[in-house]
Amino acid sequence: MKLSVIIPVYNEINTILEVLRRVKAVPLDKEIIIVDDGSTDGTREVLRGIKEENVKIIFNERNRGKGFSLRRGFEHITGDIVIIQDADLEYYPDEYPILIQKIIEDKADVVYGTRFLGTHRVFHFYHYLGNLLLNFIANVIYDTNLSDLMTCYKAFKAEVIKKLKLRANGFGIEAEITAQIFRRRLRVYEVPISYSGRDYDEGKKITWKDFFRLLYWLLKCKFESFDISEDTLYRMRMMKNNNRWVFERIKPFVGKNVMEIGSGIGNISKFLVSFERNVILTDINEAYLTYLRHRFIGNPKVKILAHDILSSDSSNIAPFKIDTAVCINVLEHIEDDQRVLDNIYKILEQDGHLILFVPALKILQGTLDEKLRHFCRYEKKDLITKLEASNFTIEKIFYHNFIATLGWFLNSKIFKRGIMSSFQVKIFDKLIPFFAGIERKVKIPFGISLIAICKKDNDGEPD
């Protein structure tokens, strides 16, 4: 794997060449990206004299802060793993192999080099106390047990750092990176590193004022959404009663060789998986596929495949002889939904079934749908027309979850929200058994979703 080393620099004329020498000496395939943040002590002139392969120098026009410099550096990475390296001599590049080992083994997405578990120079108590307090706050907010939020040595899969939506210009980026990593439920490890902390008269730049900036970013990231679709999947994971109810309604129609389209993080997959069935879980999001591979790593009945249902090439699916295609809350995200139905029809074996679950009632279309990138909500007659156009025979079609229509209408049409709050989700899930009992006894003529059970019962191509 190729390593990208990002070095933000500000007034480090005394150490930058030695740091560069040590980084180059590490026996790993790497590129070095140095970002000078408007140095005024001669550092810029030293950097302009560096003309070496695999060393890229970027100059900020003026001093913008560590966060700004890191973001500029991240824009230029071409490696598989990214490490942040300060331009002083507090950290030891010869420990890079320790940092990246868990990533190479695919056990971690991010690795923190913690200064408090390894050999370290004895340093300021109040500085240590500030770190301790920040770690405590972060751990409470994000329900984790990180020991060193402010460590410089952080290693990431390149795909991870490219997805983070970073905005902090100063040292607040340390808290912002950590907050976004834990919000995204990434696999994080800590490994002990050596540390030789500098004194303030030696050039240490972080001060007590930065504590409040860091606290600001920890709190800000906690209460905002970076990817609403991803956030929604994780909130849906909390809805155990709801997910079980969805599966109970489709369970009688699930066959022996099942393909789930758009499995996400496996909220419904876990119910589909059974030693009675062979299950193919598919998605186009590599992060979700990685999550699924780890979740079902030891189950011989489960295969995880990258597959785009919009593609007419289903050669990777054909050998599994699919008798059931499960498509839950996927069709509405695809503008060419008719093509999707045609492709599902082709994938299914003769007499195979499609179990389709989609959002219902156009009158509910609002801000929630917009943020979730729903192209539409479906009326029953329109969905029937589309299914029949793909040559499916509809065996059953019915509404699901009538009570949720009220919550969706209020949040999406009245209050114009972009995502349901975690509190609402938890309360609603507690009430699911009661409302599910009502729907088992009474046929309700509307609901937030439509469930269609369809059969492929001829050999013809879709119209």
Res. 26: pLDDT tops 70: yes
Which tokens go with 205?
A: 């730049």
pLDDT at 204: 53
Answer CATH for 229-455 from 3.40.50.300, 3.10.20.30, 3.40.50.150, 3.40.50.10580:
3.40.50.150
| Structure confidence by residue, pLDDT tens digits, 409-450 | 999 999 999 888 888 899 999 999 999 999 999 999 999 999
Which tokens go with 193?
A: 């590193």
Distance of alpha carbon 34 from alpha carbon 46, whole angstroms: 12
Res. 150: pLDDT tops 60: yes
pLDDT at 250: 97
pLDDT at 181: 94
| Structure confidence by residue, pLDDT tens digits, 363-396 | 999 999 999 999 999 999 999 999 999 999 999 9
Instruction: Using alpha carbons, select from 108, 174, 179, 90 the residue that is nearest to residue 143.
Output: 179
pLDDT at 419: 86
pLDDT band at residue 11, thresholds of 50, 70 and 90?
very high
pLDDT band at residue 457, thresholds of 50, 70 and 90?
confident
Domain span(s) for CATH 3.40.50.150 in the chain: 229-455
Domain span(s) for CATH 3.90.550.10 in the chain: 3-224
pLDDT at 376: 95
Distance of alpha carbon 343 from alpha carbon 332, whole angstroms: 15
**What SS3 class is residue 208?**
coil
Instruction: Provide mean pLDDT across the span 292-297.
Output: 92
pLDDT at 207: 73
Res. 209: pLDDT tops 90: no
Res. 308: pLDDT tops 80: yes
Res. 463: pLDDT tops 70: no
Percent of the chain with pLDDT over 70: 95
Instruction: Provide mean pLDDT across the span 238-262.
Output: 96
pLDDT at 146: 95
Instruction: Provide mean pLDDT across the span 154-162.
Output: 95
Answer CATH for 3-224 from 3.40.50.150, 3.40.50.300, 3.90.550.10, 3.30.70.270:
3.90.550.10
pLDDT band at residue 105, thresholds of 50, 70 and 90?
very high
pLDDT at 228: 77
pLDDT at 42: 95
Res. 227: pLDDT tops 80: no
Instruction: Provide mean pLDDT across the span 239-268.
Output: 96
The residue with tokens 């120079």 is 121
Q: How does DSSP assign 72-116, residue by residue? A: HHHTT--SSEEEE--SSSSS-GGGHHHHHHHHHTTS-SEEEEESS
Strand intervals (E) in 348-443: 353-359, 393-400
Res. 57: pLDDT tops 60: yes
pLDDT band at residue 286, thresholds of 50, 70 and 90?
confident
DSSP letter for 59, please.
E
The dihedral through the CA atoms of 56, 57, 59, 63 has a sign that is positive
- pTM (whole model) above 0.85: no
Compute the C-alpha angle 449/453/455, nearest 5°.
Answer: 150
